[in-house]
Amino acid sequence: MKNFIVLAFTTMCLQSLSAQNHIVDEVVWVVGDEAILRSDIERVRNAYGSDIKGNPYCVIPEQLAIQKLFLHQAAIDSISVSDGDVAPYVEQDINKKVMMAGSKEKLEEYMRMPMSQIREELFEQYRNEMTAMKMKQKITADIKITPAEVRKHFRDLPQDSLPYIPTQVEVQILTRHPRIHREEIDRVKEQLRGWAERIQSGATSFSALARMFSKDENSARMGGELDYYGRTQLDPAIANVAFSLTDPKKVSKVVQSEYGFHIVQLIDKRGDKVKIRHILRRPEVDPKDIEACMVRLDSIAMDIKENKFTFEDGARDLSDDKDSRNNHGIMTNINHETGIATTRFEMSDLPSEIARMVDKMEIGEISKAFTMIDKHGMETCAIVKLRNRIPAHRASITEDFQILKGTVESKKSEEMIQQWIKDKQKSTYVRINEDWRSCDFTYPGWVK
């Protein structure tokens, strides 16, 4: 059964949510101590519509219930994802939705909610999905597949039963951050210092300033508050400050991270985790400096085309992208369900700005300079090279071994996950309203 709670919004059609305004809400399922509301079910039904195979009032609540089993176990095992892990996927998804709608204003009109609420709902949904995925990875962590198992699995399959692999691309990237003037950095730092003084004097509250001014839109709505996080779940610069704070009444000095500049306030410490609130501000980039950065990148691209140096050398020596510069500029695609990394991307897996450039490029071609928002929410300039394009095809052992190995791993993982769900059902309190029980559930153990 297709998992309709895997909220991969990159392919989700924009649906009107007006039907939700007429729903009389009710609790229809309870799983453990978590309720599933009719409005939760309607939200998914309105989003996916006719894509749902089967009765949506059976399929959707069961999938929501399964997710809650994973989230409940994740909480017990102290498994979580940081805001920094979630934010890039939310922003990428929002960018794609805005492109589909035509503008932010049209997206808000179409979805009948302000951008802040759209972002808030996406953030929560992505966080839940990513947390559930991490829990699945822990459950299946000990699965090991040998080459012999892969060959055995596919040896006797007819050709038309082999996995069909869509068109994939391999991309190299070289990025440069636009210049930010010292005066602008000083302005932002002085602004944050002034707010810190006002907070500590009692003239205003940290939460009020965070709601009004923080550029971390996901925590801003909560007055700048973050969840309880361990040291490794926070940006290293933020972690160093957060774990050094001892007085909740004090505000930290200005700290710089890869996301911008922050002030931080301690809320609570619990074991090896800390709960803080923060305000994020980013220096503004002068459009002239963005233009200068793009001119510089176009010049670099021309030098590469004239064989003064290679793209690989340019990425290593000139790129600001830490993730790729030590790998010849090659972008890496990490499957967040399996943890497997590959250099191949389906077009839908690429950041939207890169996908637009690559779509019409020839192998070996280098793009013109363009701007994009990086995973830290910063505007950056980039050029890309299309390293390879692999046409859609049926997989073969010789050419696609890693993909086929992943298929076998996925099959074993799915079997293990199915057994885990069945076992978890037995030890979890489940109550389903009488009107919602007459379903042919994938896992019959819900009704006890």
Write the pLDDT tens digit of every residue in 18-46. Answer: 344 444 689 999 998 889 999 889 888 88
CB 29 within 8 A of CB 64: yes
Closest among 395, 418, 391 to 406, alpha carbons compared: 395
List of E strands, 309-365: 333-334, 341-342, 345-346
Please, where in the chain does CATH 3.10.50.40 lie?
167-179+285-391, 182-281
pLDDT, position 2: 36
Q: Comparing 197 with 152, which gets the higher pLDDT? A: 197
Of the candidate ranges 47-51, 96-100, 266-270, the one whose mean pLDDT is the lowest: 47-51
Q: How confident is the model at residue 210 (pLDDT cuts 50, 70, 90)?
A: very high
Give the HSE-up count for residue 228: Cα atoms under 13 Å, Cβ half-sphere: 9
Q: What is the CATH number of domain 182-281?
A: 3.10.50.40
Query: What confidence score (pLDDT) does residue 337 get?
Result: 61
Domain with CATH 1.10.4030.10 in the chain: 9-143+414-446
pTM of the model: 0.62
What per-residue confidence (pLDDT) applies to 189? Answer: 97
Q: Which amino acid is at 15?
A: Q
Overall fold of domain 167-179+285-391: Chitinase A; domain 3 (3.10.50)
- Which architecture, in CATH terms, is 9-143+414-446? Orthogonal Bundle (1.10)
CB 384 within 8 A of CB 173: yes
443: DSSP letter: S
**Distance between CA atoms of 133 and 79, rounded to whole angstroms?**
10
